[in-house]
Structure 1
Amino acid sequence: MPIFCEASARPEAHYQFLAGGLSGFLEVVCLHPLDVVRSRMQLQGTRSVRGEVLYRGPLHAMASMYRHEGLTAFWKGIVPPVCVETPKRGAKFLMYELFKPYFYFGAPQPTPLTHAMAGTLAGTLESFVVNPFEVVKITQQANRLERLSTLSVVRSIIKHDGWGFEGLYRGITALMARNAVFHFGFFGFYNAIKDWVPISQDSGSELLRKVTIAGFASCLAGVMSFTLDMAKCRIQGPQPVKGEVKYRWTIATIRTTFREEGFRALFKGLSSMLMKVVPGGAMLLVSYDYIYEFLKTTNY
């Protein structure tokens, strides 16, 4: 019996990994331009640096980027997330399912807290894999003058700053905090709301139900974790003054930003982030479900 269970579990894990990876790939390719806009707005201060245009909002940022840098600017830094999203999403779904039994807390069935805690742990652990890719991606996105190749950015960071907390792993604590809060909210809210909204027997209505709930949960989770995301972006991106490290630690970065730029600066780029996260969460869930079911039915 144990041999049978082990053998039957392997295809499930295989399908989950593939479905999660492919859904992550689709999300990145479709929504990466909004990620570039969010990073640009989070990195800019209250005054122009080196004559760069100050973005007044997401639409102004998009228009300025297209006018001054061309269409390809919207996909700057896409190689790192494409490389990491496929295995990351697959591994995250596997870890999420693996961790759920440890957070039942005596309940006979998984509760919203079960999903929230399992998602938090999975999201926190994935930070160690994702962080170097985030540093490279943000460095590429921040550059307005030229299109930097991924390998050249990697070599430059390693040469000048190394592999550790000053280099490819700078901002790791901010990323862990951001991921923990976001995944707690996303998985927790999604499963709590899903239990309240009745399942529809009509396939189209059921699809709409899932998309709506996932999008709403993504919105709430994004707002909860956005200030941490702003701090992560400033720590991992180019510093305002070359040769001087202004943003190093999460709480200190939040305090400095609040003191120098005010409360609104803590939420710079929120609208562009929500424009990406809301459809992104819905796309991730729906595509994962469809791909997973397709792989199971076709015995891929």
Structure 2
Amino acid sequence: MSGKIGRLQDEGSRMQVVIAGGMAGLIARFIVAPLDVVKIRLQLQSHSLSDPLLLSRQDIRGGPIYKGTLSTMRHILAHEGVTGLWKGNVPAELLYVCYSAAQFTAYRAASLGLQNFHAATGLTPHPHVDTFVAGASAGAAATAATYPLDLLRTRFVAQGTDRVYSNLRAAVRDIARDEGMQGFFRGLGPALLQIAPYMGSFFACYESLKPVMGHVAERLLDTTVGASAAVGTGAGSAAAGVVAAVMAKTFVFPLDLVRKRIQVQGPTRSRYIHKNIPVYNSGVVRALQTILRTEGVRGLYRGLIVSLVKAAPANAITVWTYERVLNLLIRMDESNTASVNARF
């Protein structure tokens, strides 16, 4: 393949990629966990704040009324304590570690596969098409492999002070007993519909923007902190990750909202902190139509602002950490190899 699509997919051994991807996901998740909790709570709120009879409605009595990111965060702190902002963190950490490792591994494998395909067929590679295909394939594979953890994360975040599941083990046991194996995959359809265009767009934008952002960042840092300090900061990668995440996230957000609402369907639906989560059991299209009819276009974008606020640093931290850890592992491996060779 003429030229590299980018270092992100063609450097490092498989184990180095897995370790770097897992570390990137672990760190990113812990930092943005409170924003993730706020986003999910807003997405699950189906009642309209413009309803003049809102406070008297029977179906929300005992449930909270969230009115924005900061207000929601203050409400959670007041009623559930600091730990409320990290609800579902155990399955979420497992999700982010496993997802990131699977995503980067699949991305690397898909990219190398495309390189081999072009080499074998002699077809002219198209870098943007290749990065989109590799990103979409990696996102779909990682989503399907880790989806039960995503569902568990959502259900724990949806719990209020009255707990539906006492712990992760009890949640797995109860879902398996009451809903069967299909219960762990509620909402997988919209998740796959969402992740392919999201990750494809993200990686395509990221790889296209990284050289430009890197050049701009180095120029800016060169004028402010000096050329020596500007080298190796990874500021270009972080900036490219921010812009790519915002663009991709906005495009697929309605599917993400539908996925969250479908994830809390089943026998425990009315026991979560929002007591009036509607029933969505007729597919993705029907769910979108129902939300549009009952909540309007704004209903499809509940939690978008906090989602964008979360997605930008999360993806920037992920790709920045991934490349720093991967480079460190590669240098350590090269150093060890050099030491062994020096002995002989």
Q: State if a TM-score over 0.5 links the two structures.
A: yes
Q: How does 1:23-62 map to 2 (within 5 A)?
A: 23-46=24-47, 49-62=60-73
- Give RMSD over aligned pairs: 2.5
Q: Distance in 2 between matches of 1:210 and 1:252?
A: 39
Aligned to 2:6: none
More moved, 205-214 vs 176-185: 205-214
Q: Distance in 1 between matches of 2:112 and 2:94?
A: 30
Structure 2: stretches of 5+ with no match in the other structure: 1-9, 48-53, 220-226, 337-344
Identity among equivalent positions (%) equals 26
Pair 1:246 & 2:279 matched: yes
1:103 deviation in Å?
A: 4.5
Q: Distance in 2 between matches of 1:72 and 1:198?
A: 38
Kindly provide the amino acid, as one letter, of the partner of residue 191 in structure 1: E
1:197 deviation in Å?
A: 4.6
Q: Distance in 2 between matches of 1:107 and 1:281?
A: 31
Pair 1:204 & 2:222 matched: no
- Cα pair distance change 1:92/1:36, threshold 3 Å: same
Kindly provide the amino acid, as one letter, of the partner of residue 75 in structure 1: W
Q: Is the Cα–Cα contact under 8 Å of residues 185 and 224 in structure 1 kept in the other structure?
A: no
Aligned to 2:206: 190
1:244 deviation in Å?
A: 9.8
Aligned to 1:295: 329
Q: Which deviations, in whole Å up to 9, do the C-alpha atoms of 1:94-128 show, x marking residues without a partner? A: 110111245467335x6122111101011111122
Kindly provide the amino acid, as one letter, of the partner of residue 116 in structure 1: F
1:231 deviation in Å?
A: 0.5
Q: Distance in 1 between matches of 2:199 and 2:113?
A: 17
Q: Distance in 1 between matches of 2:86 and 2:260?
A: 17
- Cα pair distance change 1:114/1:237, threshold 3 Å: same
- Cα pair distance change 1:95/1:62, threshold 3 Å: same
Q: Is the Cα–Cα contact under 8 Å of residues 213 and 239 in structure 2 kept in the other structure?
A: no
SS of equivalent residue, structure 1 residue 168: helix
More moved, 142-151 vs 168-177: 142-151
Q: Is the Cα–Cα contact under 8 Å of residues 26 and 93 in structure 2 kept in the other structure?
A: yes
Pair 1:159 & 2:159 matched: no
2:313 to 279, 296, 299: 279
Q: Distance in 1 between matches of 2:289 and 2:173?
A: 32
Q: Distance in 1 between matches of 2:277 and 2:235?
A: 49
Aligned residue pair count: 289
Q: Is the Cα–Cα contact under 8 Å of residues 95 and 150 in structure 2 kept in the other structure?
A: no
SS of equivalent residue, structure 2 residue 234: helix
Structure 1: stretches of 5+ with no match in the other structure: 1-8
Q: Give the TM-score of the pair, scaled to structure 1.
A: 0.88
Q: Distance in 2 between matches of 1:92 and 1:44?
A: 30
Aligned to 1:6: none
Q: Distance in 2 between matches of 1:88 and 1:297?
A: 25
Q: Which deviations, in whole Å up to 9, do the C-alpha atoms of 1:136-155 show, x marking residues without a partner? A: 11111111124541122222
More moved, 259-268 vs 74-83: 74-83
Aligned to 2:158: 142
Pair 1:107 & 2:108 matched: no
Q: Which deviations, in whole Å up to 9, do the C-alpha atoms of 1:185-223 show, x marking residues without a partner? A: 110111122344563484637622221111000111110
- Cα pair distance change 1:285/1:51, threshold 3 Å: same
More moved, 66-75 vs 177-186: 177-186
Q: Give the TM-score of the pair, scaled to structure 2.
A: 0.78
1:10 deviation in Å?
A: 11
More moved, 128-137 vs 245-254: 245-254
- Cα pair distance change 1:208/1:187, threshold 3 Å: same
SS of equivalent residue, structure 2 residue 300: helix
